[in-house]
Structure 1
């Protein structure tokens, strides 16, 4: 069985959140996330027992709807 890292635990403004690794770019000195804006990290779902669907949905929806430019039709 292969081991795969799925989430990173990140502290943002004194709160720990789970950051989906599939929505992250890990550099030598930083981690970049393009799906949501910096001020939106405070609203990442927090649960006692992390529910992957809610966390993944939050970052996925951010990819499509975070800014007005992303809400335009694709065609």
Structure 2
């Protein structure tokens, strides 16, 4: 089965910087070995390595992440 990926116009370094302003460094995963556990949701036939993973600890962190990602983007 052929895998397809959705390509988004995302500046990885900018995104990483924004998340690191909200979360502690250990809560933002972006190294391949750290991302492997998140590449599937239980259906192991469908695997896609995420760009990065965020692990918020508080309600405020979740709110800040959602606020950041819901901002209108120009491009």
TM-score if structure 2 supplies the norm length?
0.25
**Higher strand fraction: Structure 1 or Structure 2?**
1
Higher relative contact order (CA 8 A, sep 6+): 2
**Higher helix fraction: Structure 1 or Structure 2?**
2
TM-score if structure 1 supplies the norm length?
0.25
